[in-house]
Structure 1
Amino acid sequence: MDLVEWLITRDSIAHRADATARGFSPSHVRAAIRAGHVRRIRSTWIALEDAPRELFTAATAAGRLTCLSLARRRKWWIPDNEDNQHHLQVGPNAHRLLKDVTFHWAKPLVDRGDRVLEASVEDALAHIAQCLSQEDALSVWESAVKIEHLDLESVRAVHWPDAASRNCANTIRGMSDSGLETIFVVRLSPWGVPIRQQVMLAGHKVDVLIGTHLVVQLDGFAFHSSSADRTRDVAHDAQLRLRGYTVLRFTYAQVIHDWAYVEATVAAAIARGLHLSPAAQARRA
């Protein structure tokens, strides 16, 4: 395997010390740079032309991807109104003259050494808690818990550096199937009605169950998108109604951009006692 082939296996970018450890001598690397086969970044990194831009930027700044940048790279859920800047965890020797970069200077929770371009999951979560609103931060944290298969007790045992991070760690449930679901639950939590997530009813899980009989299904961008999915959802809704449940279904656009409508609709359903069982509704009448 030559140097270019090796770089391809490493996201097209690598620390020169790793290249040396792999058996590529410093003179071999210098020759590849002179020939234009690879690019040098500062004195310590080499990359191919197609290296991911965010990793190239991190190497140029002597930093690591963190916060929303690491979230995007690891495919965590991100609010659609967040910036597209590169978020970098950096030390005192960082290159500060880069454009479209947000620097995070705090001491790392996990020191991953100088040969990696991604901060730890814990550091990224801490930076997200500091950068975003509580609601949005919780949505990203819930997504990270699901995608990274994080244990809630382990997350809460971390020595988080600030109140925002500690609040996220103590609030997450590990139940949300999407960031949209987290936003919905966070907004309704102060209402004082029982709320459960991902409850199995009529053979399938529902996103949110309010009380015992008010089902809320949330149609995000990445879910319920195909014709087959839609057919399955309609059939499931019918089965739920036959069993006495009220089903409310909201889209991403409604939850994010027309919350007043969503809130009013759910409030009206609760006011009518639709979150209660038919027997409880009859007693209430």
Structure 2
Amino acid sequence: MSILELLRQHGEIARTSTLIQKGGTKRDIAATVAQGSVVRVMKGWVASRQADAEQLTAVRSGGRLGCISALARWGVWAADDRSPHIAMSQHGRRLSDVRMAGSTEAVMHPRAPVDTGTRPRLDRPCCFHWSQPAGTENDLDWIVRPFDAVKQAVYCQNLEHAVACVDSALHHGVLTAEEWATIATALPTTFDECVSLIDGRADSGLESRIRVRLQKLGHRVDVQVPVPGFGKLDLLVDDRVGLELDGDRFHSTADQRRRDLAKGLISLRFGIPIIRAGYVHAIDDWDLVYEALRRMLDLTALRVA
């Protein structure tokens, strides 16, 4: 197997010792570097031309992508923070300039269940996590395991984002229920609320965030509620009003819009009105969304009474 093929299997960047362990040779590596298709990142590290700037920053810092940066490479909800999150070893070092040369298309983990089209996080200074876990045989050199990334995210992110990260990791099978139980059991009691709110049925990070928001306001919220004969509602609030949260990725084509309209009509046949809100509405104009939801809840409460 060529050095480029080995690098592709390992996420486009790796230690030279890893490549040699997997069947490459020092001569092969040197020849591929001489050809210009592979570059030496630093002593003991090489990368293909497809390696992205966030990967290079983590490696040159002496760490690995961690926390939400790592989760993004697994196709998991990874919050809105645009800082590179880097898990550092005791030998790591901060770099003053994170805008290193590299691809502007993020490299996904080779075993990621979904490709979310994420981009390298380089808009803000690095966030360093000085607790890089020890590597295991199955780890890639440049990124921590999902187990460790989720644990870091729970400590790092606010309640909404932490819940969304865990929900998404569970939903996509990146983290098992047993692994989450191990993490949750070891958390301090200050994280009890976070643990109680986890629900891997959530289909998107946005659903998780809004569900948490509504539950903290005292509402009963169920997720992914079946609409007989036609899909599922994102959220059912207080057992009588549906809330559909429409991200651009799955609600932009003509077919998707027709499906959304049909779901609303069929839901009304069963006495459940639906409010639809896009990502921008739900996050940037939440007061408007919540006011509309409360009004619909008031109207349906009168009907029930």
TM-score (norm. length: structure 2): 0.79
Quick one: distance in 2 between partners of 1:248 and 1:4? 50
Which deviates more from structure 2 when the two are superposed, residues 116-125 or residues 155-164?
155-164
Q: What is the RMSD of the two structures over their aligned residues, measured on CA atoms?
A: 2.6
Instruction: Tell me by how many angstroms 1:66 deviates.
Output: 0.6
The percent identity for this pair of structures is: 28
Quick one: distance in 2 between partners of 1:47 and 1:164? 41
Alpha carbons 2:14, 2:142 under 8 Å: kept: no
1:190 counterpart residue number: 216
Structure of higher RCO (CA pairs closer than 8 Å, 6+ residues apart): 2
Instruction: Tell me by how many angstroms 1:25 deviates.
Output: 3.1
Quick one: distance in 1 between partners of 2:135 and 2:14? 18
1:112 to 108, 132, 136: 136
Alpha carbons 1:86, 1:102 under 8 Å: kept: yes
Unaligned runs of 5+ in 1: none
2:45 counterpart residue number: 45
Alpha carbons 1:62, 1:93 under 8 Å: kept: yes
Alpha carbons 1:134, 1:168 under 8 Å: kept: yes
Alpha carbons 1:198, 1:205 under 8 Å: kept: yes
Alpha-carbon spacing, 1:217–1:60, altered in 2? closer, same or farther (3 Å): same
**1:186 partner SS:** helix
Quick one: distance in 2 between partners of 1:42 and 1:162? 39
In the TM superposition, what whole-angstrom CA distance separates every residue of 1:223-259 from its partner, at most 9, and x where no partner exists? Answer: 2221111111111211221222222111211110111
2:163 counterpart residue number: 138
Alpha carbons 1:61, 1:98 under 8 Å: kept: no
Which deviates more from structure 2 when the two are superposed, residues 15-24 or residues 181-190?
15-24
2:7 counterpart residue number: 7
Quick one: distance in 1 between partners of 2:232 and 2:297? 21
Alpha carbons 1:141, 1:168 under 8 Å: kept: no
How many corresponding residue pairs?
A: 275
Unaligned runs of 5+ in 2: 98-124
Q: Report whether the alignment pairs 1:173 with 2:199.
A: yes
**1:4 partner SS:** helix
Q: Report whether the alignment pairs 1:57 with 2:53.
A: no
Which deviates more from structure 2 when the two are superposed, residues 46-55 or residues 134-143?
46-55
**1:40 partner SS:** strand
